[in-house]
Amino acid sequence: MSHFMDAVPSIADLSGGQKGKLILLHVVLESPQLLILDEPTKNFSPTSQSQVRQLFKNYPGATLTVSHDVNYLRQVC
């Protein structure tokens, strides 16, 4: 087990995109009725951006989003 813990990076060592994914995962698992999102695709790869767009397009609650990502806004809002 200690070998596994040594292999897990600390949050400080994660990239911006990895931190963003971790935060989104935490928020979505809480399943709030309203999500307030500020640049939800910032620092994500094109593949991850597409996955995030799909996630929030199908999100059962309401979302309030601030974004400069025109593709995100067109596909989700």
Quick check: is 62 in a domain? yes
Residue 39 and residue 46: Cα distance in Å, rounded? 14
Mean pLDDT of the chain: 85
The amino acid present at 31, given as its one-letter code, is: S
CB 51 within 8 A of CB 76: no
- Total structural domains within the chain: 1
Tens digit of pLDDT for each residue in 9-32?
Answer: 788 888 888 888 888 888 888 989
Quick check: is 70 in a domain? yes
Residue 56 and residue 40: Cα distance in Å, rounded? 10
Residue 60 has pLDDT above 80, yes or no: yes
Quick check: is 9 in a domain? no
Quick check: is 65 in a domain? yes
Quick check: is 26 in a domain? no
Higher pLDDT, 50 or 3: 50
Quick check: is 56 in a domain? yes
Quick check: is 20 in a domain? no
Tens digit of pLDDT for each residue in 39-50?
Answer: 988 888 999 889
Average pLDDT over residues 62-69: 92
Provide the domain limits for residue 44.
33-76
Residue keyed to tokens 């309203």: 34
Residue 4 has pLDDT above 60, yes or no: no
Quick check: is 15 in a domain? no
